[in-house]
Amino acid sequence: MKKIILVSLVMLLSLTLISCSDSETKKTTDENKGTEEKADSKVVEEKKDTTLESSKKQTYIDKLDKIKVGLKDLDKLYAGNTLEMKGAAGQEYDRWDVALNEIYGVLKTQLSTSEMSALEKEEVQWIKDKEEKAKKASLEFQGGTGESLAYTSSLATTTKERCYELVNKYMK
């Protein structure tokens, strides 16, 4: 059955080639083919640019998701004593802060000067808000062993949220 189909295809291809033997038809076909190839090439280039942009954004979403999943290694510490929980919160905050700085670095290369300037102003305000939010969270445990834990946990959570926000809002 496969041989019959293959033979039929070969014959069809042969007949098509024979019918295109007229030089004028061939010349027109070649010209059209060249134009089509140029147009196809342009479409492929545009798709590559779009894919690169969306893949950069998706790459960072994936990185952030991996950090989130990777935090499972801190579960043992979070189940421990207050000192261990503080250490876990500190490690979590550090991981999100490293990601945030990396994202910010990428945005510096992607955004225009005016966009970057606006983002820098926004970032200064965000840092103030992050610190205020952490301070407010820690006040619930003022004077207790959980005060610094609540502060650091709040910093970690707010920084994680900011990572996703920057990627989704600004990354190209």
* pLDDT tens digit sequence for 62-112: 999 999 999 999 999 999 999 999 999 999 999 999 999 999 999 999 999
- 98 assigned to some structural domain: yes
Banded pLDDT at 172 (limits 50, 70, 90): confident
- 149 assigned to some structural domain: yes
- 42 assigned to some structural domain: yes
Q: Is 111 helix (H, G, I), strand (E, B) or coil?
A: coil
What's the pTM value of the predicted model, to 2 decimals?
0.69
Neighbours of 133 (CB within 10 A): 15
- 52 assigned to some structural domain: yes
How far apart CA 28 and CA 93 sit, in angstroms, is 65
- 44 assigned to some structural domain: yes
Q: Which domain holds residue 151?
A: 30-170
- Domain count of the chain? 1
The pLDDT, as a whole number, for residue 34 is: 55
How far apart CA 107 and CA 169 sit, in angstroms, is 11
For CA atoms 126, 132, 135, 139, the dihedral sign is negative
The pLDDT, as a whole number, for residue 1 is: 42
- 13 assigned to some structural domain: no
The pLDDT, as a whole number, for residue 25 is: 44
Q: In Å, how far from its chain's centre is CA 171?
A: 8
How far apart CA 115 and CA 7 sit, in angstroms, is 62
Residue 86 · residue 149 · CB < 8 Å: yes
Per the structure block, which two tokens stand in for 9? 């295809």
- 1 assigned to some structural domain: no
Residue 159 · residue 97 · CB < 8 Å: yes
| Per-residue model confidence as pLDDT tens digits over 111-169 | 999 999 999 999 999 999 999 999 999 999 999 999 999 999 999 999 999 999 999 99
List Cα–Cα distances, 153 to 104, 148, 162, 166, in angstroms: 22, 8, 14, 20
46 vs 63, higher pLDDT: 63
Banded pLDDT at 7 (limits 50, 70, 90): very low
Q: What percent of the chain has pLDDT over 90?
A: 67
The pLDDT, as a whole number, for residue 29 is: 46
128 vs 44, higher pLDDT: 128
Helices (DSSP H) in the chain: which residue ranges?
Answer: 2-19, 23-70, 75-78, 82-110, 113-139, 147-170
- 24 assigned to some structural domain: no
